[in-house]
Structure 1
């Protein structure tokens, strides 16, 4: 189970709220996978992907508004978003297959948990600092 807690705050309210909701949606996705219901899995993957794209768009819009979008850090951060989406879609394809197996679900569960922690604890806390810095 993925949990948001105040130690993960980036101190940008919209991002902190999205991170809290992201944990909820990831948990819904993990629950859907445990049901083995193809329709529920497909719908929940779509729901999660739409939300994560909105989250990434929010971060990128904040970078644009800050005037820092062209910095090497911002470019690296946005590239990490694309990497996540590619990996996520690969998992989505394999887990939407009738041949899905428990090992694949376990691999996805470990991957999404590790990504969530790393994304917030490292990438987005740094993003918050970067956006709040005067230069």
Structure 2
């Protein structure tokens, strides 16, 4: 049984961002599998990968919003920063031996559903205007994701 199934209502209509959001959902599901399998080493690996991927995703998203002239960029960035700090706190607790995996998964799911449905849907129209211009997307994808 999968912990969280991607729901089309989470789609913001920008394929590259939707794919990144799906990847985050995949990480959460991997975390669930490792947790249920009582594989603490794998939980540690998945949490680390999730933190790294989320930071990269946020940087990509913020770059897109900046290029698009999104007027609420600063507020959106602050939301990302607060979320990143909370997730880093969970990682620290896990690294010190606390069992925070289930709590982390629920936090991730709640935050992402609210953030994607509200904040990300809000910037999507701005971003769509610039995605096809001057190869911006391909250059930026290479910059952030290799």
With normalisation by structure 1, the TM-score equals 0.82
Mean Cα displacement is larger for which, 15-24 or 33-42? Answer: 33-42
Note the alpha carbon deviations across 1:41-100, whole angstroms, 9 max, x for none.
Answer: 2211111111111211111111122133xx3x11010111111110001111112333x2
1:133, CA displacement in angstroms?
A: 6.7
Aligned partners of 2:58 and 2:80 also within 8 Å = yes
Cα RMSD of the aligned pairs, angstroms, is 2.0
With normalisation by structure 2, the TM-score equals 0.76
> Counterpart of 1:111?
107
1:114, CA displacement in angstroms?
A: 0.5
Distance 1:30 1:92 in 2: 15
Aligned partners of 2:65 and 2:126 also within 8 Å = no
- Identify unmatched segments of 5+ residues in structure 1: none
In structure 2, the CA distance between the partners of 1:36 and 1:96, relative to structure 1 (3 Å rule), is farther
